[in-house]
Chain A
Amino acid sequence: MKKIQVLGPGCPKCKQLAEQAEAAAKGLGIEFELAKVTELKDIMAFGVMTTPALVVDGEVKVVGKVPSVEDIKKYLQ
Protein backbone atom coordinates (compact mmCIF):
# COMPACT_ATOMS: atom_id res chain seq x y z
CA MET A 1 0.00 0.00 0.00
CA LYS A 2 1.36 3.38 -0.99
CA LYS A 3 1.72 5.89 1.79
CA ILE A 4 1.13 9.38 0.39
CA GLN A 5 1.84 12.43 2.51
CA VAL A 6 1.05 16.01 1.52
CA LEU A 7 3.12 18.57 3.38
CA GLY A 8 1.75 22.05 3.90
CA PRO A 9 0.38 24.37 6.58
CA GLY A 10 -3.08 24.43 5.06
CA CYS A 11 -3.08 26.92 2.23
CA PRO A 12 -5.09 26.44 -0.99
CA LYS A 13 -2.13 24.98 -2.89
CA CYS A 14 -1.67 22.25 -0.29
CA LYS A 15 -5.37 21.39 -0.43
CA GLN A 16 -5.17 21.26 -4.21
CA LEU A 17 -2.17 18.93 -4.07
CA ALA A 18 -4.01 16.64 -1.68
CA GLU A 19 -7.05 16.50 -3.99
CA GLN A 20 -4.94 15.85 -7.06
CA ALA A 21 -2.88 13.19 -5.28
CA GLU A 22 -6.07 11.42 -4.28
CA ALA A 23 -7.38 11.66 -7.83
CA ALA A 24 -4.12 10.26 -9.21
CA ALA A 25 -4.08 7.35 -6.78
CA LYS A 26 -7.73 6.51 -7.48
CA GLY A 27 -7.06 6.85 -11.21
CA LEU A 28 -4.31 4.23 -10.95
CA GLY A 29 -6.57 2.01 -8.90
CA ILE A 30 -3.91 1.34 -6.26
CA GLU A 31 -4.34 0.96 -2.54
CA PHE A 32 -3.23 4.09 -0.81
CA GLU A 33 -3.25 6.02 2.43
CA LEU A 34 -3.30 9.82 2.20
CA ALA A 35 -2.18 11.95 5.12
CA LYS A 36 -1.80 15.72 5.43
CA VAL A 37 1.17 16.94 7.43
CA THR A 38 0.52 20.46 8.70
CA GLU A 39 2.81 20.87 11.71
CA LEU A 40 5.92 22.86 10.79
CA LYS A 41 8.14 20.63 12.90
CA ASP A 42 7.03 17.55 11.00
CA ILE A 43 7.38 19.30 7.64
CA MET A 44 10.91 20.31 8.55
CA ALA A 45 11.73 16.76 9.58
CA PHE A 46 11.41 15.79 5.91
CA GLY A 47 13.99 18.42 5.01
CA VAL A 48 11.40 20.45 3.13
CA MET A 49 11.50 24.24 3.03
CA THR A 50 8.96 25.17 0.37
CA THR A 51 5.45 23.88 0.59
CA PRO A 52 3.41 22.25 -0.81
CA ALA A 53 5.41 19.05 -0.98
CA LEU A 54 4.56 15.48 -1.92
CA VAL A 55 6.05 12.49 -0.13
CA VAL A 56 5.50 8.92 -1.35
CA ASP A 57 6.49 6.04 0.94
CA GLY A 58 8.76 8.35 2.90
CA GLU A 59 10.58 9.74 -0.14
CA VAL A 60 10.20 13.41 -1.01
CA LYS A 61 9.10 13.61 -4.65
CA VAL A 62 7.97 17.17 -5.30
CA VAL A 63 8.77 20.37 -3.44
CA GLY A 64 7.30 23.81 -3.82
CA LYS A 65 4.64 23.33 -6.48
CA VAL A 66 1.50 21.42 -7.34
CA PRO A 67 2.28 18.84 -10.03
CA SER A 68 -0.37 17.72 -12.48
CA VAL A 69 -2.39 14.57 -11.86
CA GLU A 70 -0.41 12.87 -14.65
CA ASP A 71 2.91 13.72 -13.02
CA ILE A 72 1.66 12.49 -9.63
CA LYS A 73 0.68 9.18 -11.26
CA LYS A 74 4.29 8.79 -12.40
CA TYR A 75 5.55 9.35 -8.87
CA LEU A 76 3.13 6.77 -7.53
CA GLN A 77 4.39 3.99 -9.75
Chain B
Amino acid sequence: MDWTKEWKPLAFLVAGFLACFYLPVGLPRFDNSMLEAFHLVKWYAREHVILCLVPAFFIAGAIAVFVSQDSVMKYLGPAANKACAYGVASCSGTVLAVCSCTVLPLFAGIYRMGAGLGPATAFLYSGPAINVLAIILTARILGPSLGLARAVGAIAFSVLIGLAMHFIYRKEEVEKIKAAQLPESDSGRPLWQTAVYFAAMVGILVFANWGRPGEATGLWADIFAAKWPITAGFGVAFALCLAAWFKVPAGRLVLAALPVAFLGFAFPEEPLFAFSAGVLGLSAIASTARDETGEWFASSWGFAKQILPLLLFGVLVAGALLGRPGQEGLIPSAWVTAAVGGNSLGANFMASFAGAFMYFATLTEVPILQGLIGSGMGQGPALALLLAGPALSLPNMLVIRSVMGTGKTVVFVSLVVVMSTLTGWLYGMFVS
Protein backbone atom coordinates (compact mmCIF):
# COMPACT_ATOMS: atom_id res chain seq x y z
CA MET B 1 0.00 0.00 0.00
CA ASP B 2 1.58 3.23 -1.16
CA TRP B 3 -0.20 5.75 1.08
CA THR B 4 1.40 8.74 -0.61
CA LYS B 5 -0.70 7.85 -3.66
CA GLU B 6 -3.65 6.12 -2.05
CA TRP B 7 -4.66 8.95 0.31
CA LYS B 8 -6.40 10.77 -2.57
CA PRO B 9 -8.88 8.03 -3.55
CA LEU B 10 -9.44 7.40 0.15
CA ALA B 11 -10.19 11.05 0.78
CA PHE B 12 -12.67 11.13 -2.14
CA LEU B 13 -14.44 8.01 -0.92
CA VAL B 14 -14.72 9.29 2.64
CA ALA B 15 -15.92 12.71 1.48
CA GLY B 16 -18.47 11.13 -0.87
CA PHE B 17 -19.68 8.80 1.88
CA LEU B 18 -20.08 11.61 4.41
CA ALA B 19 -21.95 13.72 1.85
CA CYS B 20 -24.38 10.88 1.23
CA PHE B 21 -24.66 10.03 4.94
CA TYR B 22 -25.60 13.58 5.85
CA LEU B 23 -27.64 14.29 2.71
CA PRO B 24 -30.39 16.70 3.73
CA VAL B 25 -33.04 14.90 1.69
CA GLY B 26 -36.14 14.59 3.82
CA LEU B 27 -35.87 18.13 5.08
CA PRO B 28 -38.82 19.93 3.46
CA ARG B 29 -36.80 22.97 2.43
CA PHE B 30 -34.18 20.84 0.69
CA ASP B 31 -36.68 18.57 -1.09
CA ASN B 32 -38.70 21.55 -2.23
CA SER B 33 -35.68 23.41 -3.56
CA MET B 34 -34.59 20.38 -5.60
CA LEU B 35 -38.03 20.21 -7.19
CA GLU B 36 -37.98 23.96 -7.76
CA ALA B 37 -34.71 23.62 -9.66
CA PHE B 38 -36.32 21.13 -12.05
CA HIS B 39 -39.54 23.15 -12.35
CA LEU B 40 -37.49 26.19 -13.34
CA VAL B 41 -35.48 24.31 -15.97
CA LYS B 42 -38.68 22.92 -17.48
CA TRP B 43 -40.21 26.39 -17.57
CA TYR B 44 -37.15 27.81 -19.31
CA ALA B 45 -37.10 24.99 -21.83
CA ARG B 46 -40.77 25.39 -22.64
CA GLU B 47 -41.09 29.14 -22.64
CA HIS B 48 -37.80 30.60 -23.71
CA VAL B 49 -35.49 28.35 -25.59
CA ILE B 50 -37.16 27.92 -28.98
CA LEU B 51 -38.89 31.27 -29.32
CA CYS B 52 -36.30 33.48 -27.70
CA LEU B 53 -32.86 31.97 -27.30
CA VAL B 54 -32.64 30.28 -30.70
CA PRO B 55 -33.46 33.44 -32.69
CA ALA B 56 -31.12 35.35 -30.37
CA PHE B 57 -28.28 32.95 -31.19
CA PHE B 58 -28.92 33.45 -34.90
CA ILE B 59 -28.84 37.22 -34.41
CA ALA B 60 -25.66 37.05 -32.33
CA GLY B 61 -24.03 34.81 -34.92
CA ALA B 62 -25.01 37.24 -37.65
CA ILE B 63 -23.52 40.15 -35.75
CA ALA B 64 -20.28 38.25 -35.25
CA VAL B 65 -20.00 37.42 -38.95
CA PHE B 66 -21.61 40.28 -40.85
CA VAL B 67 -20.87 43.40 -38.86
CA SER B 68 -17.45 44.67 -39.78
CA GLN B 69 -15.41 44.98 -36.62
CA ASP B 70 -12.88 47.09 -38.49
CA SER B 71 -15.32 49.90 -39.17
CA VAL B 72 -16.20 50.09 -35.49
CA MET B 73 -12.58 49.86 -34.38
CA LYS B 74 -11.75 52.86 -36.58
CA TYR B 75 -13.58 55.00 -34.04
CA LEU B 76 -11.65 53.50 -31.17
CA GLY B 77 -8.20 53.54 -32.72
CA PRO B 78 -5.30 55.88 -32.02
CA ALA B 79 -6.39 58.50 -34.57
CA ALA B 80 -9.97 58.58 -33.39
CA ASN B 81 -11.78 61.72 -32.34
CA LYS B 82 -11.67 61.41 -28.55
CA ALA B 83 -15.16 62.67 -27.86
CA CYS B 84 -16.63 60.36 -30.48
CA ALA B 85 -14.63 57.46 -29.04
CA TYR B 86 -16.53 57.61 -25.74
CA GLY B 87 -19.86 57.36 -27.47
CA VAL B 88 -18.73 54.51 -29.68
CA ALA B 89 -17.02 52.68 -26.82
CA SER B 90 -20.12 52.79 -24.69
CA CYS B 91 -22.45 51.44 -27.38
CA SER B 92 -20.22 49.14 -29.36
CA GLY B 93 -20.51 46.44 -26.73
CA THR B 94 -23.67 45.31 -28.50
CA VAL B 95 -21.69 44.66 -31.63
CA LEU B 96 -18.22 43.82 -30.37
CA ALA B 97 -18.79 42.02 -27.10
CA VAL B 98 -20.94 39.22 -28.41
CA CYS B 99 -18.40 36.70 -27.22
CA SER B 100 -17.65 37.49 -23.58
CA CYS B 101 -14.02 36.60 -24.01
CA THR B 102 -13.41 39.34 -26.56
CA VAL B 103 -14.00 42.09 -24.02
CA LEU B 104 -10.65 41.85 -22.24
CA PRO B 105 -8.34 41.87 -25.29
CA LEU B 106 -10.36 44.70 -26.78
CA PHE B 107 -10.14 46.66 -23.56
CA ALA B 108 -6.39 46.13 -23.43
CA GLY B 109 -6.11 47.09 -27.08
CA ILE B 110 -8.14 50.28 -26.83
CA TYR B 111 -6.16 51.29 -23.76
CA ARG B 112 -2.66 50.67 -25.09
CA MET B 113 -3.11 50.86 -28.86
CA GLY B 114 -6.13 52.97 -29.39
CA ALA B 115 -8.10 55.82 -27.99
CA GLY B 116 -6.82 55.49 -24.45
CA LEU B 117 -7.83 54.79 -20.86
CA GLY B 118 -11.13 56.68 -20.88
CA PRO B 119 -12.82 54.98 -23.85
CA ALA B 120 -11.23 51.66 -22.88
CA THR B 121 -12.81 51.66 -19.43
CA ALA B 122 -16.12 52.87 -20.88
CA PHE B 123 -16.08 49.84 -23.14
CA LEU B 124 -15.00 47.55 -20.31
CA TYR B 125 -18.00 48.54 -18.23
CA SER B 126 -20.68 48.66 -20.88
CA GLY B 127 -19.55 45.80 -23.11
CA PRO B 128 -20.57 42.82 -21.00
CA ALA B 129 -23.71 44.60 -19.87
CA ILE B 130 -25.12 45.30 -23.32
CA ASN B 131 -24.12 42.25 -25.29
CA VAL B 132 -27.03 41.45 -27.51
CA LEU B 133 -27.91 38.06 -25.98
CA ALA B 134 -27.96 39.50 -22.47
CA ILE B 135 -30.31 42.34 -23.41
CA ILE B 136 -32.67 40.02 -25.25
CA LEU B 137 -32.93 37.54 -22.40
CA THR B 138 -33.16 40.26 -19.74
CA ALA B 139 -36.02 41.94 -21.57
CA ARG B 140 -37.77 38.63 -22.14
CA ILE B 141 -37.54 37.22 -18.62
CA LEU B 142 -37.13 40.19 -16.31
CA GLY B 143 -39.33 42.50 -18.33
CA PRO B 144 -38.73 45.10 -21.04
CA SER B 145 -38.45 47.87 -18.47
CA LEU B 146 -35.48 46.28 -16.73
CA GLY B 147 -33.97 45.27 -20.08
CA LEU B 148 -34.14 48.83 -21.35
CA ALA B 149 -32.87 50.24 -18.04
CA ARG B 150 -29.94 47.85 -18.17
CA ALA B 151 -28.98 48.92 -21.68
CA VAL B 152 -29.48 52.64 -21.14
CA GLY B 153 -27.92 52.60 -17.68
CA ALA B 154 -24.87 50.73 -18.88
CA ILE B 155 -24.32 53.03 -21.86
CA ALA B 156 -24.91 56.28 -20.00
CA PHE B 157 -22.84 55.44 -16.98
CA SER B 158 -20.02 53.86 -18.93
CA VAL B 159 -19.35 57.27 -20.48
CA LEU B 160 -19.27 58.80 -17.01
CA ILE B 161 -16.94 56.11 -15.71
CA GLY B 162 -14.67 56.48 -18.74
CA LEU B 163 -14.52 60.23 -18.32
CA ALA B 164 -13.86 59.87 -14.60
CA MET B 165 -10.97 57.48 -15.19
CA HIS B 166 -9.58 59.79 -17.87
CA PHE B 167 -9.84 62.78 -15.55
CA ILE B 168 -8.30 61.06 -12.56
CA TYR B 169 -5.35 59.82 -14.58
CA ARG B 170 -5.07 62.72 -17.00
CA LYS B 171 -1.51 63.58 -16.06
CA GLU B 172 -0.23 60.16 -16.98
CA GLU B 173 1.47 59.47 -20.26
CA VAL B 174 1.08 55.87 -21.28
CA GLU B 175 3.44 54.45 -23.84
CA LYS B 176 1.39 53.49 -26.85
CA ILE B 177 1.86 50.22 -28.63
CA LYS B 178 1.70 50.31 -32.38
CA ALA B 179 -1.28 48.39 -33.69
CA ALA B 180 -0.77 45.67 -36.28
CA GLN B 181 -1.67 46.99 -39.71
CA LEU B 182 -3.98 44.73 -41.60
CA PRO B 183 -5.93 45.24 -44.82
CA GLU B 184 -9.53 46.14 -44.12
CA SER B 185 -11.91 43.34 -44.87
CA ASP B 186 -14.68 44.23 -47.27
CA SER B 187 -18.11 42.84 -46.54
CA GLY B 188 -19.21 43.24 -50.15
CA ARG B 189 -22.73 44.14 -49.20
CA PRO B 190 -24.21 47.61 -48.86
CA LEU B 191 -25.00 48.59 -45.30
CA TRP B 192 -28.73 49.00 -45.90
CA GLN B 193 -29.07 45.39 -46.98
CA THR B 194 -27.39 44.19 -43.80
CA ALA B 195 -29.65 46.51 -41.81
CA VAL B 196 -32.83 45.14 -43.40
CA TYR B 197 -31.65 41.58 -42.82
CA PHE B 198 -31.07 42.32 -39.15
CA ALA B 199 -34.37 44.16 -38.87
CA ALA B 200 -36.18 41.09 -40.21
CA MET B 201 -34.55 38.83 -37.62
CA VAL B 202 -35.19 41.27 -34.80
CA GLY B 203 -38.78 41.60 -35.99
CA ILE B 204 -39.26 37.84 -35.77
CA LEU B 205 -37.73 37.81 -32.30
CA VAL B 206 -39.73 40.74 -30.96
CA PHE B 207 -43.12 39.69 -32.28
CA ALA B 208 -42.79 35.99 -31.59
CA ASN B 209 -42.14 36.97 -27.98
CA TRP B 210 -44.75 39.72 -27.69
CA GLY B 211 -46.11 39.38 -24.18
CA ARG B 212 -49.73 39.18 -23.16
CA PRO B 213 -50.75 42.62 -21.92
CA GLY B 214 -52.57 43.34 -18.69
CA GLU B 215 -55.61 44.89 -20.35
CA ALA B 216 -57.62 43.30 -23.12
CA THR B 217 -57.84 46.43 -25.26
CA GLY B 218 -55.45 48.99 -26.70
CA LEU B 219 -52.54 48.90 -29.12
CA TRP B 220 -50.50 46.39 -27.13
CA ALA B 221 -53.41 43.97 -26.97
CA ASP B 222 -54.15 44.36 -30.70
CA ILE B 223 -50.56 43.56 -31.54
CA PHE B 224 -50.66 40.58 -29.20
CA ALA B 225 -53.74 39.24 -30.99
CA ALA B 226 -51.97 39.55 -34.34
CA LYS B 227 -48.48 38.53 -33.22
CA TRP B 228 -48.18 35.32 -35.23
CA PRO B 229 -49.28 36.78 -38.57
CA ILE B 230 -46.87 39.66 -37.95
CA THR B 231 -44.08 37.22 -37.09
CA ALA B 232 -44.89 35.25 -40.24
CA GLY B 233 -44.67 38.49 -42.24
CA PHE B 234 -41.19 39.14 -40.87
CA GLY B 235 -40.34 35.53 -41.62
CA VAL B 236 -41.25 36.00 -45.26
CA ALA B 237 -39.21 39.23 -45.37
CA PHE B 238 -36.28 37.35 -43.86
CA ALA B 239 -36.55 34.58 -46.47
CA LEU B 240 -36.61 37.21 -49.23
CA CYS B 241 -33.42 38.78 -47.81
CA LEU B 242 -31.72 35.41 -47.84
CA ALA B 243 -32.76 34.71 -51.42
CA ALA B 244 -31.94 38.15 -52.78
CA TRP B 245 -28.75 39.06 -50.98
CA PHE B 246 -27.30 35.97 -49.39
CA LYS B 247 -27.36 33.76 -52.45
CA VAL B 248 -29.53 31.10 -50.83
CA PRO B 249 -31.26 29.15 -53.60
CA ALA B 250 -34.92 30.13 -53.69
CA GLY B 251 -35.95 26.53 -54.23
CA ARG B 252 -34.48 25.48 -50.89
CA LEU B 253 -36.23 28.33 -49.11
CA VAL B 254 -39.58 27.33 -50.58
CA LEU B 255 -38.95 23.74 -49.55
CA ALA B 256 -38.18 24.83 -46.00
CA ALA B 257 -41.15 27.16 -45.92
CA LEU B 258 -43.67 24.46 -46.86
CA PRO B 259 -43.67 22.58 -43.51
CA VAL B 260 -43.75 25.90 -41.67
CA ALA B 261 -46.80 27.12 -43.57
CA PHE B 262 -48.51 23.75 -43.28
CA LEU B 263 -47.95 23.48 -39.53
CA GLY B 264 -48.94 27.12 -39.10
CA PHE B 265 -52.32 26.63 -40.74
CA ALA B 266 -52.96 23.11 -39.45
CA PHE B 267 -52.14 23.86 -35.81
CA PRO B 268 -52.82 27.56 -35.19
CA GLU B 269 -53.05 26.96 -31.44
CA GLU B 270 -49.52 25.53 -31.28
CA PRO B 271 -47.23 28.12 -32.87
CA LEU B 272 -44.23 26.25 -31.48
CA PHE B 273 -44.66 23.55 -34.14
CA ALA B 274 -44.45 25.96 -37.06
CA PHE B 275 -41.68 27.97 -35.42
CA SER B 276 -39.59 24.87 -34.70
CA ALA B 277 -40.07 23.73 -38.28
CA GLY B 278 -38.83 27.15 -39.40
CA VAL B 279 -35.77 26.89 -37.18
CA LEU B 280 -34.98 23.37 -38.42
CA GLY B 281 -35.43 24.44 -42.04
CA LEU B 282 -33.17 27.46 -41.63
CA SER B 283 -30.54 25.36 -39.86
CA ALA B 284 -30.62 22.78 -42.61
CA ILE B 285 -30.13 25.40 -45.30
CA ALA B 286 -27.52 27.49 -43.49
CA SER B 287 -25.42 24.65 -42.13
CA THR B 288 -24.93 23.16 -45.59
CA ALA B 289 -24.01 26.45 -47.26
CA ARG B 290 -20.34 26.84 -48.02
CA ASP B 291 -20.04 30.61 -47.97
CA GLU B 292 -20.75 33.28 -45.39
CA THR B 293 -24.20 31.81 -44.74
CA GLY B 294 -22.42 28.70 -43.52
CA GLU B 295 -20.10 30.86 -41.41
CA TRP B 296 -23.15 32.55 -39.91
CA PHE B 297 -24.63 29.21 -38.90
CA ALA B 298 -21.30 28.01 -37.53
CA SER B 299 -21.01 31.16 -35.46
CA SER B 300 -24.57 30.84 -34.10
CA TRP B 301 -24.00 27.18 -33.32
CA GLY B 302 -20.76 28.12 -31.57
CA PHE B 303 -22.67 30.46 -29.26
CA ALA B 304 -25.32 27.84 -28.58
CA LYS B 305 -22.68 25.24 -27.67
CA GLN B 306 -20.87 27.67 -25.43
CA ILE B 307 -23.81 29.24 -23.66
CA LEU B 308 -26.64 26.71 -23.36
CA PRO B 309 -24.87 24.24 -21.00
CA LEU B 310 -23.80 27.04 -18.67
CA LEU B 311 -27.25 28.59 -18.78
CA LEU B 312 -28.82 25.23 -17.94
CA PHE B 313 -26.49 24.90 -14.96
CA GLY B 314 -27.21 28.49 -13.89
CA VAL B 315 -30.95 27.87 -14.04
CA LEU B 316 -30.64 24.70 -11.91
CA VAL B 317 -28.57 26.57 -9.31
CA ALA B 318 -30.93 29.56 -9.32
CA GLY B 319 -33.92 27.24 -8.93
CA ALA B 320 -32.34 25.31 -6.10
CA LEU B 321 -31.17 28.39 -4.21
CA LEU B 322 -34.11 30.71 -4.78
CA GLY B 323 -36.98 28.74 -6.25
CA ARG B 324 -39.39 29.93 -8.89
CA PRO B 325 -40.93 33.40 -8.39
CA GLY B 326 -43.32 33.05 -5.52
CA GLN B 327 -41.73 29.83 -4.26
CA GLU B 328 -39.01 29.14 -1.75
CA GLY B 329 -35.63 27.62 -2.44
CA LEU B 330 -32.74 26.84 -0.11
CA ILE B 331 -32.34 30.52 0.72
CA PRO B 332 -35.34 31.86 2.67
CA SER B 333 -37.05 34.76 0.92
CA ALA B 334 -36.99 36.67 4.20
CA TRP B 335 -33.19 36.85 4.07
CA VAL B 336 -33.28 38.21 0.51
CA THR B 337 -35.91 40.80 1.34
CA ALA B 338 -33.97 41.88 4.42
CA ALA B 339 -30.72 42.27 2.51
CA VAL B 340 -31.82 43.71 -0.84
CA GLY B 341 -35.53 44.38 -0.61
CA GLY B 342 -37.00 47.81 -1.09
CA ASN B 343 -34.88 50.58 -2.55
CA SER B 344 -32.61 51.94 0.15
CA LEU B 345 -29.10 53.03 -0.80
CA GLY B 346 -27.89 50.23 1.43
CA ALA B 347 -29.83 47.58 -0.48
CA ASN B 348 -28.56 48.93 -3.80
CA PHE B 349 -25.02 49.02 -2.48
CA MET B 350 -25.21 45.43 -1.22
CA ALA B 351 -26.48 44.24 -4.59
CA SER B 352 -23.87 46.21 -6.46
CA PHE B 353 -20.98 45.09 -4.23
CA ALA B 354 -21.98 41.43 -4.28
CA GLY B 355 -22.49 41.59 -8.03
CA ALA B 356 -19.07 43.08 -8.63
CA PHE B 357 -17.29 40.15 -7.00
CA MET B 358 -19.59 37.32 -8.04
CA TYR B 359 -18.85 35.51 -11.24
CA PHE B 360 -21.69 35.17 -13.75
CA ALA B 361 -21.23 33.07 -16.85
CA THR B 362 -22.83 34.70 -19.86
CA LEU B 363 -26.58 34.98 -19.36
CA THR B 364 -26.68 33.21 -15.99
CA GLU B 365 -27.29 36.53 -14.28
CA VAL B 366 -30.82 36.41 -15.69
CA PRO B 367 -32.19 33.30 -13.94
CA ILE B 368 -30.37 34.24 -10.75
CA LEU B 369 -31.87 37.70 -10.80
CA GLN B 370 -35.26 36.28 -11.58
CA GLY B 371 -34.98 34.12 -8.48
CA LEU B 372 -33.84 37.03 -6.35
CA ILE B 373 -36.63 39.32 -7.58
CA GLY B 374 -39.12 36.52 -6.96
CA SER B 375 -37.74 36.20 -3.43
CA GLY B 376 -38.20 39.87 -2.65
CA MET B 377 -35.32 41.81 -4.19
CA GLY B 378 -36.32 45.34 -5.13
CA GLN B 379 -36.22 46.62 -8.71
CA GLY B 380 -33.51 49.16 -7.89
CA PRO B 381 -31.09 46.64 -6.36
CA ALA B 382 -31.92 44.31 -9.26
CA LEU B 383 -30.69 46.88 -11.76
CA ALA B 384 -27.65 47.54 -9.58
CA LEU B 385 -26.78 43.85 -9.73
CA LEU B 386 -27.36 43.74 -13.49
CA LEU B 387 -24.97 46.62 -13.99
CA ALA B 388 -22.19 45.52 -11.66
CA GLY B 389 -22.50 41.75 -12.01
CA PRO B 390 -21.68 40.76 -15.57
CA ALA B 391 -18.96 43.37 -16.04
CA LEU B 392 -16.86 42.30 -13.08
CA SER B 393 -15.88 39.27 -11.12
CA LEU B 394 -12.92 38.41 -8.98
CA PRO B 395 -11.06 36.47 -11.70
CA ASN B 396 -11.84 39.22 -14.20
CA MET B 397 -10.48 41.89 -11.85
CA LEU B 398 -7.17 40.07 -11.70
CA VAL B 399 -6.85 40.18 -15.49
CA ILE B 400 -7.79 43.85 -15.60
CA ARG B 401 -5.14 44.43 -12.95
CA SER B 402 -2.53 42.82 -15.19
CA VAL B 403 -3.42 45.34 -17.90
CA MET B 404 -3.77 48.59 -15.99
CA GLY B 405 -2.26 47.99 -12.60
CA THR B 406 -3.70 47.66 -9.12
CA GLY B 407 -4.37 51.35 -8.51
CA LYS B 408 -6.46 51.95 -11.60
CA THR B 409 -8.29 48.65 -11.11
CA VAL B 410 -9.31 49.63 -7.58
CA VAL B 411 -10.52 53.01 -8.81
CA PHE B 412 -12.43 51.37 -11.68
CA VAL B 413 -14.13 48.80 -9.45
CA SER B 414 -15.10 51.51 -6.95
CA LEU B 415 -16.53 53.65 -9.74
CA VAL B 416 -18.52 50.68 -11.04
CA VAL B 417 -19.94 49.90 -7.60
CA VAL B 418 -20.83 53.54 -6.93
CA MET B 419 -22.39 54.08 -10.36
CA SER B 420 -24.38 50.87 -10.20
CA THR B 421 -25.64 51.71 -6.72
CA LEU B 422 -26.75 55.18 -7.80
CA THR B 423 -28.31 54.02 -11.06
CA GLY B 424 -30.20 51.26 -9.27
CA TRP B 425 -31.41 53.63 -6.59
CA LEU B 426 -32.61 56.18 -9.16
CA TYR B 427 -34.36 53.49 -11.20
CA GLY B 428 -36.00 52.09 -8.08
CA MET B 429 -37.40 55.50 -7.26
CA PHE B 430 -38.53 56.00 -10.84
CA VAL B 431 -40.53 52.76 -11.10
CA SER B 432 -42.27 52.90 -7.76
Contacts and interface: CB of A to CB of B under 8 A. Distances in A.
A49 B178 CA distance: 11
A9 B104 contact: yes
A41 B401 CA distance: 11
Given A13-B99, A63-B182, A45 B177 contact: yes
A71 to B, nearest CB: 12
A16 to B, nearest CB: 8
A51 interface: yes
A48 B403 CA distance: 14
**Interface of B: prevailing SS:** helix
A9 B396 CA distance: 12
Contacts of B405: none
Interface in B75-120: 96, 99-102, 104-106, 108-110, 112-114
A47 B105 contact: no
A50 to B, nearest CB: 6
B402 A11 contact: no
Contacts of A14: 101
Nearest to B399: A40
A32 interface: no
B180 interface: yes
Q: Which among B100, B101, B104 has the highest number of chain A CB atoms within 10 Å?
A: B101
Contacts of A24: none
B108 A43 contact: yes
Interface in A50-77: 50-51, 60, 63-64
Interface residues of A, number: 23
A50 B99 contact: no
Nearest to A10: B101
Given A40-B105, A40-B403, A60 B112 contact: no
B317 interface: no
B344 interface: no
B302 A44 contact: no
B101 A11 contact: yes
Contacts of A40: 104-105, 108, 399, 402-403
Contacts of A47: 113, 177-180
Contact of A12 (B73, B106, B306): B306
Interface in B103-158: 104-106, 108-110, 112-114
A63 to B, nearest CB: 6
Nearest to B96: A50
Given A49-B114, A50-B69, A63-B180, A44 B305 contact: no
Interface string A17-52: 000000000000000000000011101111111110
Contacts of B112: 44
A63 B77 CA distance: 15
Contacts of B106: 49-50
Nearest to B294: A68
A40 B112 CA distance: 11
B180 A50 contact: no
A36 to B, nearest CB: 14
Interface in B236-295: none
Contact of B302 (A12, A43, A63): A12
B108 A44 contact: yes
Nearest to B111: A44
A51 B108 contact: no
B105 A49 contact: yes
Please list the 7 inter-chain residue pairs (A to B) with the smallest Cβ-Cβ separation, ordered nearest first. Answer: A49-B109, A11-B101, A47-B180, A60-B180, A47-B179, A51-B105, A40-B108
Given A12-B306, A48-B179, A50-B73, 17 more contacts: A9-B105, A11-B99, A12-B302, A13-B99, A14-B101, A39-B402, A40-B403, A41-B403, A44-B109, A47-B177, A47-B180, A49-B73, A49-B108, A49-B110, A50-B105, A51-B101, A63-B182
